[in-house]
Amino acid sequence: MYSFTNDYNETAHPKLLESLLTASTQKNSGYGLDTYCEKAAEKIKSLIQSSQSAVHFLPGGTITNLAFISHILRPYQAVIAAQTGHIAVHETGAIEATGHKVITVKCEQGKLTPEVIKPVLEEHCDEHMVQPKLVYISNTTELGTIYSKKELQELHAFCQKHHLYLYMDGARLAMALSAAENDLSFSDIAKLTDAFYIGGTKVGAFAGEALIINNNNLQADFRFTMKQKGAILAKSWILGVQFLALLENNLYLELGKHSNVMAKQLNDILSRYGFTFTIAPQTNQLFVNVPDTLVNSITQHYDLLPCGKPDSQHSCLRFCTSWSTQQHDIDRFEKFLQTVCQK
Amino acid sequence: MYSFTNDYNETAHPKLLESLLTASTQKNSGYGLDTYCEKAAEKIKSLIQSSQSAVHFLPGGTITNLAFISHILRPYQAVIAAQTGHIAVHETGAIEATGHKVITVKCEQGKLTPEVIKPVLEEHCDEHMVQPKLVYISNTTELGTIYSKKELQELHAFCQKHHLYLYMDGARLAMALSAAENDLSFSDIAKLTDAFYIGGTKVGAFAGEALIINNNNLQADFRFTMKQKGAILAKSWILGVQFLALLENNLYLELGKHSNVMAKQLNDILSRYGFTFTIAPQTNQLFVNVPDTLVNSITQHYDLLPCGKPDSQHSCLRFCTSWSTQQHDIDRFEKFLQTVCQK
Amino acid sequence: MYSFTNDYNETAHPKLLESLLTASTQKNSGYGLDTYCEKAAEKIKSLIQSSQSAVHFLPGGTITNLAFISHILRPYQAVIAAQTGHIAVHETGAIEATGHKVITVKCEQGKLTPEVIKPVLEEHCDEHMVQPKLVYISNTTELGTIYSKKELQELHAFCQKHHLYLYMDGARLAMALSAAENDLSFSDIAKLTDAFYIGGTKVGAFAGEALIINNNNLQADFRFTMKQKGAILAKSWILGVQFLALLENNLYLELGKHSNVMAKQLNDILSRYGFTFTIAPQTNQLFVNVPDTLVNSITQHYDLLPCGKPDSQHSCLRFCTSWSTQQHDIDRFEKFLQTVCQK
Amino acid sequence: MYSFTNDYNETAHPKLLESLLTASTQKNSGYGLDTYCEKAAEKIKSLIQSSQSAVHFLPGGTITNLAFISHILRPYQAVIAAQTGHIAVHETGAIEATGHKVITVKCEQGKLTPEVIKPVLEEHCDEHMVQPKLVYISNTTELGTIYSKKELQELHAFCQKHHLYLYMDGARLAMALSAAENDLSFSDIAKLTDAFYIGGTKVGAFAGEALIINNNNLQADFRFTMKQKGAILAKSWILGVQFLALLENNLYLELGKHSNVMAKQLNDILSRYGFTFTIAPQTNQLFVNVPDTLVNSITQHYDLLPCGKPDSQHSCLRFCTSWSTQQHDIDRFEKFLQTVCQK
C-alpha cells in the first residue's frame, strides 16, 4: 500500500537530518535563544527583505496559529476565515479555546476577497456582536489554490482601510511560491501581511514552523505567549537547525517545486484517463472526482484522503504529493491506473 | 416618539414592584440562599412537575447562557445553534469567550430539527474537529416562531440517541407558551430538555431569569460556576421575589398572552393595509416588510428595530409588543398608519 | 435573631426605591444607553472632577472586577493582589477563569505598598513567568482598613514608574471616604488610579456598581467586554436611577458615614466589655476576638461571620453594620452583651 | 565556558538519533496513530504493569501539563501545587490561561504532604472559592528532591479520601527512580497516581514526554484536547521512536543514573572544598551556597543557574548534570575549583 494521503508522512529530508546530526555534539542555550535560531532568523529576514520583522520558531501549525492569534486579539475580537479554513475546521476549536470566535465566510476556491469580507464588517456593527479584527488566509489554501499578487494586494489594501490584521498560514507556502502560476515573492508577503508563517512540517522538516511578525505593533512580548501555550521547545535549536538547512541553496522552494511537479504528473495521468477535478489543481494537492465504481480498486492499493461526494456517482479523493514523492512512485501509479481503468 | 423596539423597555410590572417594596423592610440571606428564592424555586418545580430539577436565579439572559453552557461542556465540546441563534449572533462571542465553538446551521424559521443537525454530526467525525455536544434552541425563536410539541419531542429523541444535551433559551418563553398555536406545557419542556430558562426580563421583571436544570448529571456545583462568572447577585432575593409574583395567579403566562394579543392586533392592522411579513408571526414579534417609501414616515414616529432588506424596495422593521403595551397604543398606531398610508 | 453578618442584607434604601418607582412608568432605551445612565455618568464625572473618565454601570462586584481586568490585560499578564484580596479569595477564581494569574502578597492590614510589590517585580524577570501588570487594591480593604492619601500617592507613583495599572475595588468606597481617619477625596482617587468602582450594592442599592475608567488608553471598546461577559443588564437604567439617587445631596457618603458611626458605637461597647480586635477598626467592619466561652451565647442571638481563630481560646467574629443599621439595634445589642457578659 | 546550566542542552542521545535515522526512510501515519507510538505505548504499559492505562506522546512538559490539567478539571476547579511547583512559577501562567487557579502551599523540600494540603481543603469550603481538585507534584521536585514510597502512598490515600486527583510531573522521573535513596518503581507510580508523565526532553530525547493516564475516568477524548492545544505533532512517530529507544535495555533509567552519579561526584568535590547546599542533594541538581567572593571566578568559566541569595554573603548557584555530562567534565571542574579556592 502506497500513501498519497498527505505531505507529512516521512520524517525529514536527508539534508535536515544531516544538519541535525552535526548539531548534536555541542551544548546549546535553551528555549530558542541559541545561535542556530538566531542565524535562521537572520537568514529569513534577509530572504523576505524585512529586517524589522520578528521571527519565532514553533513546533507545529495549530500551535502557531493559536499562539499568534490569541496574542494579538482583545477578548471580544474575532477572526474572519474561509469556511474551509484550517482553523475553522481542523484544529478542534483551538482558536475558540483561546476565547475568540472564528467567523466563516463562503468563498470560491478557498480564497478570501474584499467582496466576501465586506458583508461581515457591515453586519458586525455594535457591541452586541464580536468585533472582526483579523483576516486569516492560507497559501496554499486548504484546497491547494494560491493567491496571486493582485489578490493579496487587494486584500491587504482592504484590511488596512478597515483596520484589520492580515495573517497568512503558510503550512504549504513552499508549494504556493513555487507553483507554476505564482507571482508572489517572500518579500511581497512580508510587505502585504501583518504576519505569516513559513511551514516546515509539510516541506521536509520533522517539525517546525517559522512565524514572522511584520507589524511592529504586534511583536512585543510574543515569547510570553509562546511559553504560556507550551510552544517553546526546550531544545528549540533543533528547529533553527532545520530552517537553516531548508534556507540553504533555495532548498525550501526546491522541495515545494518538486511536490508540485510530482502532482502535475499525477494530474496529467489522471486527466488522460478522463478523471476530472473538484477544483482546478495549482499545487501538490489534487482533489479528484473518482467514479464510485473505481474507488475500492484504487483505495485497496493507495492511501488517499476521502473528501466527500461531489455527486451521486463520484467520490472526491485527495492525492497529495510531497518532497519525498519519487518519480518511480508516479510511474508505478500510472501503470496501476492503466490496469484499473482497463478492467 | 413611541417605542415598539423591544419588550424590555419598561422597568417592571406593578405587581412585581409591589412585591419588591414589601420585601424591602427585612433582612435576607445573601447570594440566593434566602426564603424568597427557595419558595420561588419550589413553585417552579411544582409548575413544571419536576421535583428533582434544580432551579437558579440569574440576572440576565447572556450570563445565564454562558454560565450554563460553560458549566456542562468539556473544553473540546461545541454547541449547535441556528444561524440566527442569540448566542451565535448577539452575545459578543460570550460562548466562545468561555472556550467553546458555536456551530451554526441554516434552518427554516429559526428552528433546529434533526434533519439540519444530522449533517453536523456526520462531519464532525474525529479529534481534529470539535465534538458537538449541546443543542441550543430558543422558544420563542429569535424570529418569533415557536416549537410544537411534536417538533420538541423529535428533537429530544434525536439528542438522546446521539448523546447530545438539549437546552432551551426561554427569554420569551411566556410568549411561546401562551401563543395561539402552542401545544407545549411547562412540564413538557421539563421532560424534553436537559435544561431551560424561564425569562423574566422580557416578561415584566426588571431583571432575572430562572434557570432550570432537569438533567441530574448536570446539576452538581452549578453555584460555583455562577459565582465565578459574576452571576450571583449579593441580593439575589430580589429575583426570587419577582418570580414569586410572576408565578402567582398565572401572571407570567398572562403577560405573555397580552404581548401576543397586542401583536396580533398590530398584525391585523398592518395586514389590512397590505403589509406582508418576512416570517409568519406567531408571537409578539412582527417582522414587517415596509416599502422603503414609507420607512421614514413611520420611523419618525415609532422606534422600531431595523432588520435588513428583504428586497430592493422593502426594509424589514421589527414591531415588538410587550406586557406594557396598551390598547390605546395600538389604536393610536392604527390611526397613524391610516394617515401615513393615505398620503 | 438579628443579623450583623454583612452590609447587603436589606433590599434598598427608601430614596432609591422611590426613584425606581418614579422611573417605572416610562419607556427607556436598553443596555445602558438611556438618559438615567447618561445623567448619572455626568454626575459622577463632575463629582470626581474628571470629565475625560468613562463611566459604566454593572450589576455586581465580581462581574465588574472580571470584566475590567480581562478587558485590559494581555493573555500573559497578571494581577498583583493582597493575600486577603477579594479577587484572590472570594470570587471562585473569576480572574483565573478569564486566563490571568492572581499573584498574592502578604501584607499588613490588607493593604498593598511599593515595598511588598517590589519583590514580585524582581522575581518575575522573564518570559517563563507571567508579567505582572495590574495592581488590585480595595478601599476599604477586606479587613475594613483604609488607604491614606499618602499611601495611595506612593502606590500610584510606584505603578507609574513600573508601568503597572492601578485599580481600586470600591465595593465599600462610601465607608472608606467617610471614615474618621480618611483624607482621600473622589477626585484624588480619579487622579491616582487607572480605574476604580463606586460600589452600590453595599451602600443601599439593590444591585449596581459604577466603574470609572480614568486612563484613556483603557477605555476603548469596554462595552464589547461588558456584553460578552453578561455584564450589561437589558434594563440598565435601573442602575443609573439608583446612582442618581445615591449621588443626590451626598446620600452616598452619608450612608457610608452612618455605617461607620454605627460600627464605632459597637466598637465602643465591645471595648468597654474588654473585647479586643484582630485588626484595629476603621470603618463598618469589626473583627472581634470573642472568647470561645461566649461564642455560642452570642451567635444564638446574632448572625455574624466567623473569621477563623486568632488563638486557641478566641474566635474571630465579624460584626458588620450598614446603611440600614438602626440606633435601637445597637442599643439592643448593648443590653444583650451586658446580660451575656454578666453570666 | 562549560555549561552546568541544565539537563537539556544537548540534542539527543546517540541511540535515539540512530533510531530516528532508521525510521526516516518509511512512510508513517500522522498524529500519533503510527506503529512506533503504538509499540512505545505497549512497552510503557508493560513497564508500569498497568495494561489499562492510556499513553500519549506530547512534545514538551508545559504543554503536557496544561493539556492534561485543562482536560480533567471543571471550570471552577483548582490545582494544588508546591510554591516552588513548575506550573506555579515557570510556565507563564499556562494553567491559569486555561481558566484554573493554582493554589500554592509552602512546603519542605518542594514536596507536598497531606499535612500541608489539609488546610487548603478546610479553607475552600463553599462556592465563593475555587474547588481544589487536583494535586500536582513533581518527582524529582524542582529542588531535586524525591518522593519516597511511603510519602507517595500517604499522599495517594489522602487524595482518594478527599476525592482529589493526583498527578505527577515526571520531567526528571529518570533521575528520581534511579536515585540512591529511591524506593519507588514505575508500577508503584502507576498505582498511586491518576496520571503522570515520563519526561524525555531532560533524559536524552530532543523533545517528547509520555503522558500516562491511569484513572480510566479521565481517559476519554484526550486526543481532542491534545489537538486543540496544538499538542499533537503531525509526525508524532518521532516521539514514539525515541521512547522505544529509551525503553530498550533500561536506557532511560541508565541515563538518569548517570546524571545522578555525575552530580554525586560534583557534590563530593564541592563538599571537600567546604561548600554547603541550600537543600540536601538527592539527584542531578545541586543548589550550592557559593560565597559571593567566588561567584565571579566560577561563573566566568561555568554557566550556572543563579537561584537567589540564601544569606547576605552567599549566592545560590544551581549545578545541573545530565546524560551528556562526561567524567572529564567533572575532573576538569575539580581542577578548576582547586585553582579558584587556592587563590
**Whole-angstrom distance, CA of residue A12 vs CA of residue D33:** 18
For A195-229, b where at least 16 C-beta lie within 10 A, e where not — what string? bbbbbbbbbbbbbbbbbbbbbeebbeebbbbbbbb
Short-list D315, D301, D319, CA closest to D265: D319
**Whole-angstrom distance, CA of residue A282 vs CA of residue A263:** 9
Average pLDDT across each block of 10 residues of chain A; the chain has 343 residues. List them in order: 91 95 89 97 98 98 98 98 97 98 95 98 96 98 98 98 98 98 98 98 97 98 98 97 97 98 98 96 97 96 94 96 96 95 78
**Whole-angstrom distance, CA of residue A257 vs CA of residue B197:** 58
Please name each of the domains of chain C with its CATH number: 2-6+252-342 (3.90.1150.10), 14-249 (3.40.640.10)
Q: What is the pLDDT of residues B89-132, one digit of tens each?
A: 999 999 999 999 999 999 989 999 999 999 999 999 999 999 99
- Does the beta carbon of A329 lie under 8 angstroms from any beta carbon of chain D? no
Residue C320 with chain B: CB contacts under 8 Å: none
What mean pLDDT is reported for chain B? 97
Is residue D104 scored above 90 in pLDDT? yes
Residue C30 with chain B: CB contacts under 8 Å: 5-6, 8-9
How confident is the model at residue D343, as a pLDDT?
Answer: 66
How confident is the model at residue B24, as a pLDDT?
Answer: 84
Half-sphere exposure of D71 (CA within 13 A, CB side): 24
How confident is the model at residue B343, as a pLDDT?
Answer: 66
Nearest CA in chain C to A220: C74
Short-list A276, B241, B185, D52, CA closest to C10: B241
For B251-273, b where at least 16 C-beta lie within 10 A, e where not — what string? bbbbbbbbbbbbbbbbbebbeee
Residue D109 DSSP label: G
Residue A223 with chain C: CB contacts under 8 Å: 127
On the question of a cis peptide bond just before residue D84, with omega within 30 degrees of 0, the verdict is no
For B334-343, b where at least 16 C-beta lie within 10 A, e where not — what string? bebbeeeeee
* Cell 403566562, residue located: B253
Helix H or strand E encompassing D167:
strand D165-169
Residue D11 DSSP label: -
Residues in CB range of A276: below 8 A, 6 or more apart: A288, A289
Neighbours of B280 (CB within 10 A): 12
Residue C234: pLDDT band with limits 50, 70, 90: very high
Beta-sheet strand order (sheet of A165-169): A54-58, A209-213, A195-199, A165-169, A131-138, A77-82, A102-105
Inter-chain residue contact C129 with D92, CB threshold 8 Å: yes
How confident is the model at residue A135, as a pLDDT?
Answer: 98
Helices A251-272 and A327-342: crossing angle in degrees, nearest 10, is 10
**pLDDT, mean of residues C4-14:** 94
**pLDDT, mean of residues B71-83:** 98
How large is the greatest C-alpha to C-alpha distance in chain C, in angstroms?
Answer: 63
- Does the beta carbon of A194 lie under 8 angstroms from any beta carbon of chain D? no
**pLDDT, mean of residues C308-329:** 96
- Does the beta carbon of A24 lie under 8 angstroms from any beta carbon of chain D? yes
Residue B26 with chain C: CB contacts under 8 Å: 10
Neighbours of A343 (CB within 10 A): 7
- Does the beta carbon of B131 lie under 8 angstroms from any beta carbon of chain D? yes
**pLDDT, mean of residues B218-236:** 98
**pLDDT, mean of residues D305-309:** 94
Nearest CA in chain C to A31: C128
- Does the beta carbon of A163 lie under 8 angstroms from any beta carbon of chain C? no
Inter-chain residue contact C235 with B206, CB threshold 8 Å: yes
> Phi and psi of D146, rounded to 5°?
-125, 155
Nearest CA in chain D to A239: D206
Q: What is the pLDDT of residues D133-163, one digit of tens each?
A: 999 999 999 999 999 999 999 999 999 999 9
How confident is the model at residue D305, as a pLDDT?
Answer: 95
Residue D125, class by beta-carbon neighbours within 10 Å (0-12 exposed, 13-18 middle, 19+ buried)?
A: exposed
Among the partner-chain residues B17, B61, B229, the one whose CB lies closest to the CB of C24 is B17
Residue C237 with chain B: CB contacts under 8 Å: 11
Whole-number percent of chain A with pLDDT over 90: 96
Question: CB–CB of B138/B150 below 8 Å?
Answer: no
Is residue C343 scored above 70 in pLDDT? no
Inter-chain residue contact D75 with B74, CB threshold 8 Å: no
Residue B215: pLDDT band with limits 50, 70, 90: very high
Neighbours of D327 (CB within 10 A): 11
* Residue D311 bridge partners (DSSP): D314
Residues in CB range of A289: below 8 A, 6 or more apart: A275, A276, A277, A278, A310, A311, A314, A315, A316
How confident is the model at residue C23, as a pLDDT?
Answer: 86
Residues in CB range of D218: below 8 A, 6 or more apart: D71, D72, D165, D194, D195
Residues in CB range of C211: below 8 A, 6 or more apart: C55, C56, C57, C58, C64, C67, C68, C195, C196, C197
Kind of pairing between the strands at C314-320 and C305-306 = antiparallel
Beta-sheet strand order (sheet of B314-320): B276-277, B285-291, B314-320, B305-306
- Does the beta carbon of D74 lie under 8 angstroms from any beta carbon of chain C? no
Inter-chain residue contact A131 with C74, CB threshold 8 Å: no
Record the cell numbers describing residue C96, joined without a space.
483565573
Distance from CA of B101 to the nearest CA of A (A): 6
Inter-chain residue contact C229 with B224, CB threshold 8 Å: no
Distance from CA of B227 to the nearest CA of D (A): 6
**Whole-angstrom distance, CA of residue A103 vs CA of residue D303:** 49
Distance from CA of A12 to the nearest CA of D (A): 7
DSSP B233-290: -TTTHHHHHHHHHHHGGGHHHHHHHHHHHHHHHHHHHHHHTT-EESS---SSEEEEEE
- Does the beta carbon of A224 lie under 8 angstroms from any beta carbon of chain C? yes
Q: What is the pLDDT of residues D179-188, one digit of tens each?
A: 999 999 999 9
**Whole-angstrom distance, CA of residue B141 vs CA of residue B109:** 8
